[in-house]
Structure 1
Amino acid sequence: MTRLVTLIFIAILLLSCKESEQDRIIRFVNEWNGKIIQFPDSICLTSYTSDTVMTKYTREQSSYTILNYVDTIGCVSCRLQLPRWKVMMEELDSLYPNKVNCLMVFNPKGKRKLIKHLRNNQFNYFVYIDEKDTLNKMNDFLNEENFTTFLLDKKDKIIAIGNPVLKPKIRDLYFDIISGKTVASSVDKVALTVVSLSKDKVDLGDFSWNKEREAEFVVSNVGKLPLVINDVITSCGCTKVDYTKKPVLPGENVILKIKYKAEQPEHFNKTITVYCNAENAPFKLNISGNAK
């Protein structure tokens, strides 16, 4: 089972990675697959929306744990993706009560800013603010956000790797394992089409930081099959995307409307990742500028 999950994870990542990255991904997965995560003797969990503290961490009733480790250097909303995690955790609680525990571990650059962000997003789940970065030091995590989220079994053994809120296929893999479905079903081949982009970068130039700016990207279906956009993920909560959820027929276009609202004055460079049934998917779009 573990070997099958490993092969599936590699296959999923290879679909979305450049050829030059394949060896690195395979080496990392082979190294970490089956590894036992080491935890500190005591973990203090806190829900900052209610200021409730859980001094003893235990998950004896849970068959699986999703461990998400994040350092909050840089844009906090980009790194944490709290709204997406909240939606997924609510879904897990509904579908698999007492079967899955989500352990959110944050190593903050600024603890006050982190707590404020948790409260502003009404993130009512328990989190572990690891100010001494103990968990990372014990396990020596790789410094890449795609490789610091793990699905663990009851013995803390890694059985899948990847961030399910950033990669839809990883999310499907996690849910298939948790539900007991055939894992291979999550990577069944799908019919692929071909897309063409009007552009993949937009420079919004200089503008006042407290004003919202917009950009548009046109995606043309130049293949022979309908184009289906499964998900569009932004690198920051300050960037929103609107698009039609309907299949795009061959010869037709879909417009991705990007809205950017700065949280503070900054030079920015944001990435939008589009997951769809195109041969070159997922593909990335970029907006940049200077919010003064």
Structure 2
Amino acid sequence: MKRLGWILGALLLCVGFVIAQNSKGAVISSPAPEFDFGVIKEANGKVSHTFVIKNIGDAPLVITRVATPCACTTPEYSQEPIAPGKEGRIIVTFNPAGRPGPFFKNVAVYSNGRDGAFTLRIKGKVE
């Protein structure tokens, strides 16, 4: 009888391990992680782009924070979880005031869908 208990326990552990291996959790993705504003005029003020974020995993995706390299770049995003297979949005705004010339900015998106940051990029040239 003890032997049967051990066999059933081992079987349950194996089944649990297989289920855990097939579950990938939340996975963050974006069909277009880079955006080029092209040439923009400093006098025209701020420019914005909306990035689409997808959860291609099988658990809810939670964006915990979005970090930008300087005060010239600001993000807006919802802290509501993104369900598996659904999309969310991150709006990135760049202020060209006092920043003539080319610009390249990385925006780090931290979530439960990846170790480290998922990177979005904006670029362009300020005249």
Q: TM-score range by the shorter chain?
A: 0.7 to 0.9
CA distance, structure 1, for counterparts of residue 123 and residue 63 of structure 2: 23
Paired with 1:279 and 1:208, the residues of 2 have a C-alpha distance of: 36
Could you tell me the TM-score, scaled by structure 2's length? 0.74
TM-score (ref. length: structure 1): 0.34
The one-letter code of the counterpart of 1:284 is T
**Is the 1:243–1:256 Cα contact (8 Å) retained in structure 2?**
yes
Alignment length (residue pairs): 102
Shift of 1:280: 5.3
Residue 41 (structure 2) pairs with residue 208 (structure 1): yes
Alignment partner, residue 106 of structure 2: 271
Question: What is the match of residue 253 of structure 1?
Answer: 87
Q: Secondary structure at the match of 1:224?
A: coil
Deviation at 1:200, TM superposition (A): 1.3
Unaligned runs of 5+ in 1: 1-190
1:263-284 alpha-carbon deviations (Å, 9 max, x no partner): 3122111110000011354111
- The structure whose Rg is larger is 2
Residue 204 of structure 1: how far off its partner (Å)? 0.3
* SS of 2:42 mapped into structure 1: coil
Kindly indicate whether the alpha-carbon contact (under 8 Å) linking 1:195 and 1:219 is maintained by their aligned counterparts in 2: yes
Equivalent pair of 1:192/1:279 in contact (CA under 8 Å): no
Partner amino acid, structure 1, of 2:78: T
Q: CA deviation at 1:252?
A: 1.0
For 1:279 and 1:240, how far apart are their aligned partners in 2?
Answer: 22
Letter in 2 for 1:233: A
Query: How far did residue 216 of structure 1 move?
Result: 1.6
**What one-letter code is carried by the residue in structure 1 that aligns with 2:107?**
I
Matching of residues 126-145 of structure 1 within 5 Å: none
- Contact 2:66–2:107, Cα closer than 8 Å, also in 1: yes
Measured after TM superposition, the shift of residue 195 of structure 1 is: 2.1
What does residue 18 of structure 2 align with? Answer: none
Q: Structure 1 runs of 4+ off > 2 angstroms?
A: none
Distance 1:261 1:221 in 2: 29
2:123 aligned residue: 288
| Closer/same/farther in 2, CA of residues 281 and 221 from structure 1, 3 Å limit | farther
Q: Per-residue deviation at 1:209? A: 1.2
Secondary structure (helix, strand or coil) at the match of 1:242 reads strand
Whose strand proportion is higher, 1 or 2? 2
Q: CA deviation at 1:236?
A: 1.3
Choose the corresponding residue for 1:194, options 16, 19, 27: 27
Deviation at 1:199, TM superposition (A): 1.1
What is the alpha-carbon root mean square deviation over aligned residues?
1.5
SS of the residue corresponding to residue 235 of structure 1 reads coil
Paired letter, 2:29: S
Matched with 2:77 is 243
- Fraction of identical pairs, as percent: 30
Give ranges in structure 2 of 5+ residues lacking alignment. Answer: 1-23
Per chain length, whose mean CA-contact separation is higher, i.e. which structure has more relative contact order (CA < 8 Å, sep 6+)? Answer: 2
Match of 1:26 in 2: none
Structure 1 231/245 Cα, relative in aligned 2: closer, same or farther at 3 Å? same
Question: Does the CA contact (< 8 Å) of 2:28 and 2:118 recur in 1?
Answer: no
Render the CA deviation track for 1:200-230: whole Å, top value 9, x for unaligned: 1111000111321111211111111100001
